[in-house]
Amino acid sequence: MAYNEETAARIRQHLQAYGDAITEKKMFGGLCFLYHGKMSVGIVKEELCVRVLAPKDQQELHKAHVRPMDFTGKPMKEMIFVEPAGFQSEAALGYYILLGIEHAESKLG
């Protein structure tokens, strides 16, 4: 499994408050964090992958270090990759984690 262990530890720290609502699953050749069984955020190699509600996903794509998640060769709906430079600070990482949690919460019905 190819993903940055340091980033995984940082994400776990941010997600501690969610307790048992968070599970981990190996996906996309990396590690994903699920909120109540819904994928929210993950790591593929060095990049963060984040599920983002539309139309926020389009807004995020205009930011530096963010691109569409094109794991399969074509962009995936409501998914973005964030390069490490885009989540160096804990505040920036927390922001992307909250976007992922927001997306997961929207799928709980």
Q: Per-residue pLDDT tens for 34-71?
A: 999 999 999 999 999 999 999 999 999 999 999 999 87
3-state secondary structure of 97: helix
Question: Looking at residues 11-17, what average pLDDT do you find?
Answer: 97
| pTM of the full structure | 0.94
Domain span including residue 11:
5-106
Burial category of 40 from C-beta neighbours within 10 Å (exposed 0-12, middle 13-18, buried 19 and up): buried
Residue 86's alpha-carbon distances to 38, 70, 93, in angstroms, are 24, 18, 8
State the pLDDT confidence band at 1, using cuts at 50, 70 and 90: low
Question: Looking at residues 67-87, what average pLDDT do you find?
Answer: 92
19: domain CATH number is 3.90.1150
**Average pLDDT in the chain:** 95
Question: For the chain, what is the domain count?
Answer: 1
Phi first, then psi: what are they for 89, rounded to 5°? Answer: -85, 155
3-state secondary structure of 66: strand
Number of CB atoms found within 10 A of residue 92's CB? 15
